[in-house]
């Protein structure tokens, strides 16, 4: 051992690497929740976040390798400053995101580029600084222990185990129990402790006034984030859930539920039978038209604000089972949207899994209401899923689902229609009878069953009377011929690509 190599226990270096890896992965998982209220949660969001974080780690590893060439005390001291940088950028992430999200989304018109730029602006530097310690601590461990294979193996294992622990803690514990802002404050405090230990290992007395001031500033930034007004009323394991008053002069009369950045339903206090949106109006009106106002058994995929189940309960339309994967969404619906859970059987599990687990169940109507803009559960739009739905319907039962697609493209609509036709002999596409606006994302209701509907037009309240109708067969045939859409299967369901992205903000 040389004079430049302090006697640092390998176990301590391994522990520090594990803590830094865990903290950095917590930040990565939290990043998805943090930017979801601005750009939604989709394949594109996670692709951008993972790419940005990996780029930060890679750049940090490269810089850490250069630092590791110095003698151990100098390398540890510089690594301590890198972790100070991680603390500062992590502690300030919430404040920074609030400042830059609007300007970035306004300035960058291409949606995927906007998501990537926003992720990079806020989360590249925390990942960069967190990537520095790995090569430094590995080299210091080799110098201190003399057994290079043993030291490297231990450091790599610590990094991997720390990453696993951070991922599990963030996804299963921190976000739903602490929220994103407090989670980042905890990570900032962990970085501060690691930085202090690294300065001590560098054989300098005390942490030093500049480093101490920087760490206090980092904790202050994290505290500033905690002092900001909360974006989410509830942060669940799935969504950032918000309740928005739509009539400020009469609070508590009409409310909108927002999950991440998407509207998921509107309900009014005084008239539980009134549908406020075209998708709710079509789901309710088409179902009642097909059922001829008789009582029916319904299976609803996705709860949201529970607007349509509430309508059916008020009309005593029959028995309703709702599969809503997030219990917090149901609690929000009961708390803020006048939904009475006693009127409905609620299954807090994935809708496809729930159907698979109940082979004896039969329904007159299955309603697919889980398709919201870019947030599309791919496993609920495949041929195999539609076959499962068909098997759970009675002989004259129907499947009704909403689809949102760009009116000037209709690629997702065409693919889902083509897939439904593989399973059901009769497939209709309903929408509001008006010309589409330029660039509009249009709401459609697809109706699949053994027979066609007895009418091809309805006047429904949404919330004012509007005319809805089934698109002509010639239009659908022309669309399918033009698009040549793929049949969506469990093996191949590129629904994210088919939906694409329009403007992220209007």
Say whether pLDDT at 210 is over 80. Answer: yes
Which pLDDT score is estimated for 177? Answer: 87
- What are the Cα distances from residue 94, in Å, to 44, 113, 193, 227? 21, 21, 21, 10
Largest CA distance in the chain: 90
Residue in the block written with tokens 């219990």: 327
**What pLDDT digit, counting tens, does each position of 78-87 carry?**
999 999 999 9
How far apart are the C-alpha atoms of 50 and 385, rounded to whole Å?
Answer: 29
Tokens of 209: 């006034």
Q: pTM of the prediction?
A: 0.84
Q: Count Cβ atoms below 10 Å from residue 89 Cβ, excluding itself.
A: 25
Say whether pLDDT at 5 is over 70. Answer: no
**What pLDDT digit, counting tens, does each position of 159-195 carry?**
999 999 999 999 888 888 888 999 999 999 999 999 9
Of 185, 44, 168, the C-alpha closest to 115 is 44
Q: What is the mean pLDDT of residues 436-465?
A: 91
How far apart are the C-alpha atoms of 348 and 326, rounded to whole Å?
Answer: 6
What are the start-end ranges of the E strands in 315-455?
318-323, 345-347, 363-368, 393-406, 426-432, 441-449
**What pLDDT digit, counting tens, does each position of 84-128 carry?**
999 999 999 999 999 999 999 889 878 788 899 999 999 999 999
* Cβ proximity of 27 and 130 under 8 Å: yes
Which pLDDT score is estimated for 2? Answer: 44
**What pLDDT digit, counting tens, does each position of 256-272 carry?**
999 988 888 899 999 99
Report angle CA 228, 232, 238 to the nearest 5 degrees: 140
What's CA 146's distance to the chain center, in Å? 46
Residue in the block written with tokens 């493209």: 409
Share of the chain above pLDDT 90, in %: 69
Q: Over the range 106-123, which residues count as b (16 or more CB within 10 Å of their CB) and which as e?
A: eebeebbebbbbbbbbbb
User: Which of 19-23, 360-364, 497-501 bottoms out in mean pLDDT, i.e. has the lowest?
Assistant: 497-501
Q: What is the mean pLDDT of residues 144-172?
A: 88
- What are the Cα distances from residue 24, in Å, to 15, 19, 115, 201? 14, 9, 20, 22
């Amino acid at each position: 051992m040389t004079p430049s190599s302090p006697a640092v226990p390998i176990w301590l270096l391994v522990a520090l690497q594990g803590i830094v890896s865990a903290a950095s992965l917590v930040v990565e998982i939290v990043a998805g929740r943090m930017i979801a209220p601005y750009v939604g949660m989709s394949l594109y969001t996670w692709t951008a976040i993972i790419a940005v974080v990996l780029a930060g780690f890679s750049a940090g590893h490269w810089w850490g390798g250069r630092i590791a060439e110095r003698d151990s005390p100098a390398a540890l001291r510089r690594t301590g400053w890198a972790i100070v940088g991680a603390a500062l950028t992590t502690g300030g992430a919430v404040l920074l995101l609030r400042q830059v999200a609007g300007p970035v989304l306004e300035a960058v018109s291409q949606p995927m580029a906007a998501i990537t730029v926003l992720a990079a602006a806020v989360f590249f530097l925390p990942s960069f600084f967190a990537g520095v310690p790995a090569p430094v601590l590995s080299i210091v461990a080799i110098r201190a222990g003399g057994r290079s294979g043993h030291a490297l193996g231990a450091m790599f294992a610590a990094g991997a185990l720390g990453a696993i622990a951070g991922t599990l803690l963030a996804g299963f514990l921190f976000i739903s129990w602490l929220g994103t802002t407090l989670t980042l404050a905890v990570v900032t405090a962990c970085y501060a402790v690691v930085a202090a230990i690294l300065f001590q290992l560098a054989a300098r007395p005390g942490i030093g006034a500049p480093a101490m001031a920087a760490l206090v500033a980092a904790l202050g930034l994290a505290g500033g984030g905690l002092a900001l007004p909360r974006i989410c009323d509830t942060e669940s394991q799935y969504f950032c859930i918000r309740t928005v008053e739509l009539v400020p002069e009469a609070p508590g009369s009409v409310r909108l539920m927002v999950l991440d950045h998407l509207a998921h339903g509107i309900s009014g206090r005084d008239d539980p039978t009134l549908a406020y949106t075209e998708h709710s109006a079509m789901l309710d009106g088409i179902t009642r038209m097909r059922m001829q106002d008789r009582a029916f058994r319904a299976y609803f995929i996705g709860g949201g604000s529970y607007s349509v189940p509430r309508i059916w309960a008020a009309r005593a339309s029959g028995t309703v089972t709702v599969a809503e994967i997030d219990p917090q969404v149901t609690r929000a619906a009961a708390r803020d949207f006048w939904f009475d859970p006693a009127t409905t059987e609620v299954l807090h599990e994935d809708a496809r899994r729930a159907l698979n687990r109940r082979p004896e169940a039969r329904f007159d109507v299955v309603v697919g209401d889980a398709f919201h803009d870019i947030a599309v559960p791919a496993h609920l739009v495949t041929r195999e899923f539609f076959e499962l739905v068909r098997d759970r319907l009675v002989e004259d039962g129907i499947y009704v689902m909403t689809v949102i697609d760009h009116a000037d493209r209709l690629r997702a609509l065409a693919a889902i229609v083509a897939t439904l036709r593989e399973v059901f002999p009769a497939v209709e596409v309903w929408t509001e009878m008006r010309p589409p606006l330029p660039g509009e994302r249009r709401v459609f209701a697809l109706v699949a069953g053994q027979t066609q509907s007895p009418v091809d037009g309805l006047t429904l309240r949404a919330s004012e009377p509007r005319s809805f109708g089934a698109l002509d067969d010639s239009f659908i045939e022309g669309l399918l011929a033009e698009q040549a859409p793929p049949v969506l299967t469990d093996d191949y369901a590129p629904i994210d690509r088919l939906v694409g992205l329009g403007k992220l903000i209007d």
